[in-house]
Structure 1
Amino acid sequence: MRLRNEVRQLREQVTALKTARTDSGAQEPAAALDQAQSRADAIRQLGVAASTGDLTALDKLAELSDVAHAQFKTNHDASVFAELRPAFDVLGAEAGKGSDTALQALWKGMRMDSVQGFAIQALGADAGHGNEKALEPLLEPERYLILRSSAVGALKPAADSGNVRAIQALAAVAVDPDAKPLWFLAAEGLRKAASSGNVAAIDALAALMRSDNDNVRREAIAGLETAAFNQSARAREALQNPGGR
């Protein structure tokens, strides 16, 4: 009963704030800010609770995510999803400090359709802080039954930190013709590694530079240019020989 009441209250707060945004006369600015802060604190506390082992908090977050999805279908306001992120920021931060309980909560969230995206991004941030356990599902998304696109996007923090396995995984995406829709994410994820002189990242960006997609090509070139500026002869050669001959 308590769980249902808390979720109902949060739902009502979310709905009330959305109404206030479209009806400027409904609330004074200070009252609206107080309500927003109260809701943000409540959502963050769900992350705290989940990080200490209260997995019913994940169920509450899933219900709120369902509400957000329903609202997005009608108002197309993506900010409804951002409001849930602090809870998963807490989980990611605690897991990054070595909390297995928080990590287990993220793994459970990874299996829940409503919050899977949030959980995967938090795992990516955790992997960026060096947690190899958090990295595992991102390296083998098929095995862990998560979308490859979500996993590729979440590899960037680890690749930015120089994690060899994350860089190799993104480089493999870059040369996989079946992963063409993910090439931009791969290029984006490899930029920092390439700028640091990582050979696998530079070679992958050189391959992506030959893509017929302008956005992918621009991202790859930008990464190679930064690497060349940082004195990478390999990147400079790739830019001078874009055809790969």
Structure 2
Amino acid sequence: LVKHKLGPKAIRGYRGGYLPKQRREIEQGLRNGDIYGVVSTNALELGVDIGQLQVCIMTGYPGTIASAWQQAGRAGRRQGEAVIFMVASSNPLDQYMIQNPEYFFSRNPETARINPNNLVILIDHIKCAAYELPFKAGDTFGELDLEDILEFLTEERVLHQNGDKWYWMNDSFPAHNISLRSASQENVVIIDQTDIAAVKVIGEMDRFSAMTLLHDEAIYLHQGVQYQVEKLDWEEKKAFVREVDVDYFTDANLAV
């Protein structure tokens, strides 16, 4: 066995809320061997090739066969072999998979489904379509009448109406702003103000998640450091946090 002297950053955290620069740094470290492992959420599930990992340990069944194979597939991408462990919890679904492994191994991954008429998703599709070709009066998107949506996008200065046609007028490429994980386009920026002389952005979170995870006094964990949210400025899409050392955490809780 080859023993490595693991440095303080040999094992890193990884999740979607990290800034792009941090995520690329961790991915590069895994590729060149500076980082030996990551403790990750399902942020690595989308198929990022992160180097020569040989072992994947899943803490519980992720809920779908597709997700389980995606998470397992982060290991063994270079050597061709990998060891995959799934540590089952007391969750009934976990226990069923452990006791009936043939159910998992004999089935194909689930079919991905979305509701194309969801207004948030629909508007994103309209933006991408308008970038390719202008809409004209009377056009439909599937069976939907688009007049109200086109007028809304014109008011937002995303489209420009000229006669009976609507043209894309925004500077950005619309597909770049569409997340594969969330329908929300806007993120809340997380600002560390522990040191007033060196205030800095440490992360971001989609607005849907921010409602339950970045509320005032919430405990936010970033790279193993605890922060408390002092203020969530919803209009400016900013969460101001300060480093703390506490013996508790907060989590989303839906009350009925």
* Length-normalised TM-score, structure 2: 0.27
Larger Rg: 2
More strand by share: 2
More helix by share: 1
